[in-house]
Structure 1
Amino acid sequence: MLAGISMWQLLIVFVIILLLFGRNKLHSVGSDLGCALKAFKKEMNSDKD
Structure 2
Amino acid sequence: MHAPGIWGIIVVAIVVILLFGRGKIAGLMGEVASGIKSFQKGMRDEENKPAAQIDASTTVEPVAQPEKKDA
TM value normalised by structure 1:
0.77
| 1:42 match | 41
Residues in 1 aligned to 2:9 and 2:42: alpha-carbon distance in whole angstroms: 34
Alpha-carbon RMSD: 1.5
- Structure of greater Rg: 2
| 1:30 match | 29
5+ long unaligned stretches in structure 1: none
Q: Identity rate of aligned residues, in percent?
A: 26
Number of residues paired by the alignment? 47
Question: Which 4+ residue blocks in structure 1 deviate beyond 4 angstroms?
Answer: none
| 1:7 match | 6
Residues in 1 aligned to 2:7 and 2:39: alpha-carbon distance in whole angstroms: 34
5+ long unaligned stretches in structure 2: 49-71
TM value normalised by structure 2:
0.57
Higher relative contact order (Cα pairs below 8 Å, separated by 6+ residues): 1
Residues in 1 aligned to 2:3 and 2:38: alpha-carbon distance in whole angstroms: 35
Greater shift, 21-30 or 7-16, is seen at: 7-16
